[in-house]
Amino acid sequence: MLRKIAYKIVSVLHIVSIKFIFFLQNALNVTHNYQPNPFDTHSKRKNRNSFDRYDAIFKNLPDTPTTLLDLGCNRGFFVLRAASKHGMFALGVDHDRFEILYARSVAEIYGVNNALFMHDEINEKLISNLPQFEMVVCTSIFHHWVRIYGKESAFNMMQDIADKTSKYLVFETGQNNETETRFYKYLEFMGESYEDWVVSFLLGLGFGEVKKIGMYSTTLSDVKRTLFLAIK
């Protein structure tokens, strides 16, 4: 009897502590607010971009995958939505511990038990140790790899990701026409048409088809980025 009471008390305190942490994160704005909370209707009105991208992705999928990996998941929007809306087992990885803490808090509060989050640096070693997923989301991170690790390492990481993707890769990157940013000069190899370069690059990684499924704004410049879906 005492054990049951103690269990209930601990469970309640656990949820209260999670909600308190979640409240502090929002109040102090300790995360990069790139993505909304997928369960917040106010966020849906304010941050339409993430919802529109998600809908465009799943509208273009031939079928619904059962597993998803999001590299550079930020607040975990795509992981949480895929897990809760489509029942997928979804894993998000990000180097920012506050983003991961936020994502874990949302998953805990809304009971999304099939969404997991890992705090780690995304590099060649991490990617090589990851298992295969039916669908991988790799958005707004490739250009950072080029800048930080160099072009060759970034290309190797993408090849490893492609090898671990059994069905679909969602890809978006910084572009060499985003001249207001600090990274565009590292992307000169994309040439005159970044879209043609991305399509050729993804086909070269072993995908059979690459589709352009939309163009979406970012917080960094006025230039919209193209969202691609690569299919095995």
Cβ–Cβ < 8 Å for 168, 229 = yes
Radius of gyration of the CA atoms of the chain, in A? 19
In percent, the amount of the chain with pLDDT more than 70 equals 82
**Average pLDDT in the chain:** 89
pLDDT for 222 equals 85
The arrangement of strands across the sheet holding 209-216 comes to: 115-119, 89-94, 67-71, 133-139, 165-172, 225-231, 209-216
Asked if residue 1 has pLDDT above 80, the reply is no
Residue 47 scores a pLDDT above 70: no
Q: Which CATH number fits domain 34-231: 3.40.50.1820, 3.40.50.300, 3.40.50.150, 3.30.70.20?
A: 3.40.50.150
Distance between CA 153 and CA 143 in Å, rounded?
12
Q: How confident is the model at residue 31 (pLDDT cuts 50, 70, 90)?
A: low
Domain range annotation of the chain? 34-231
Phi, psi at 187, each rounded to 5°: -110, 25
Q: 98-151, pLDDT tens digit by residue? A: 899 889 989 998 999 999 999 999 999 999 999 999 999 999 999 999 999 999
Q: What pLDDT, on the 0 to 100 scale, is given for residue 29?
A: 64
Geometric angle at alpha carbon 190, from 144 and 76, rounded to 5°: 35
Percent of the chain with pLDDT strictly greater than 90: 72
What confidence tens digit (pLDDT) does each residue in 61-97 have?
A: 999 999 999 999 999 999 999 999 999 999 999 999 9
In this prediction, residue 184 has a pLDDT band, given cuts at 50, 70 and 90, of very high
Task: Please state the separation of Cα 188 from the chain's center in Å.
Answer: 25
